[in-house]
Amino acid sequence: MFGFNDFWKFFLAFFLIYPVVTIIHLSGHLFFVAIFGGTEKKVVIGHGKKLFSFWKFEIRQYYFWAGGCEFKKIKFNSRVSDTFIFLGGAIFNAVSIGVVNILIYIRVLEPSVWWYQFVYFSFIALFWSIFPMYYPSGTPSDGKAVLLLWKDEFKDKSSDDLFWRKDEEKNNP
């Protein structure tokens, strides 16, 4: 049964663990952007009004509510590179789930509700990113973006949490 103590655990997990899971997911996208020569990379944590930024991170008012990452150009651009970029978040979530479970199994980490919630939120992030669907905003999930990419039906090369900025010099001379 969900009691008062469970409420506080969920509250802390939602406002602390879920943002960490989001950062891991977005780092996966940017890892592959960097491997394939992406430029002008930026991570946006949350939604709403911008609170502050540092280095290549921007923190928004609702920091616990998802996020996104942006980049401008890719040096090595192909369907394979785009596929790795789109699936990079899910790959990093899957790897983090595996690492936590292995560390618990070999007794480096103690099993706890916090690790359980980390794995739970990581699995949710992984699932919703690869499930092939359009979000209410009209943007595709990462999995849908990959399907569209391989069917030659994808023009924008952006998904719900990954935004490929157009070359602004061409549009604004």
More confident residue, 6 or 58: 58
Pairing of strands 42-54, 162-164: unpaired
User: Cβ–Cβ contacts within 10 Å for residue 45, how many?
Assistant: 22
pLDDT at 173 over 50: no
Q: Return the structure tokens found at 64.
A: 């616990």
* H helices present in the chain, as ranges: 4-12, 18-35, 79-105, 113-130, 142-150, 168-171
Strands of the 162-164 sheet, one edge to the other: 42-54, 57-71, 162-164
pLDDT category of residue 1 using cuts at 50, 70 and 90: low
Residue 145 falls within a domain, yes or no? Answer: yes
- Look at the chain and report how many structural domains it folds into: 1
* Residues 137, 141, 145: CA angle, nearest 5 degrees: 115
Residue 166 falls within a domain, yes or no? Answer: no
Q: Is 65 in contact with 47 (CB distance < 8 Å)? A: yes
Tokens 């401008």, residue located? 72
Residue 43 falls within a domain, yes or no? Answer: no
The answer, as to whether pTM is greater than 0.75, is yes
Residue 138 falls within a domain, yes or no? Answer: yes
pLDDT tens-place string over residues 54-111: 888 888 888 878 888 888 888 988 999 999 999 999 999 999 999 999 999 999 999 9
Domain that holds residue 98: 10-38+75-160
pLDDT tens-place string over residues 143-159: 999 999 999 988 777 88
DSSP 15: I
Please give the Cα distance from 80 to 78 (Å, whole number): 5
The alpha carbons of the chain give a radius of gyration, in whole angstroms, of 17
Please give the Cα distance from 168 to 142 (Å, whole number): 24
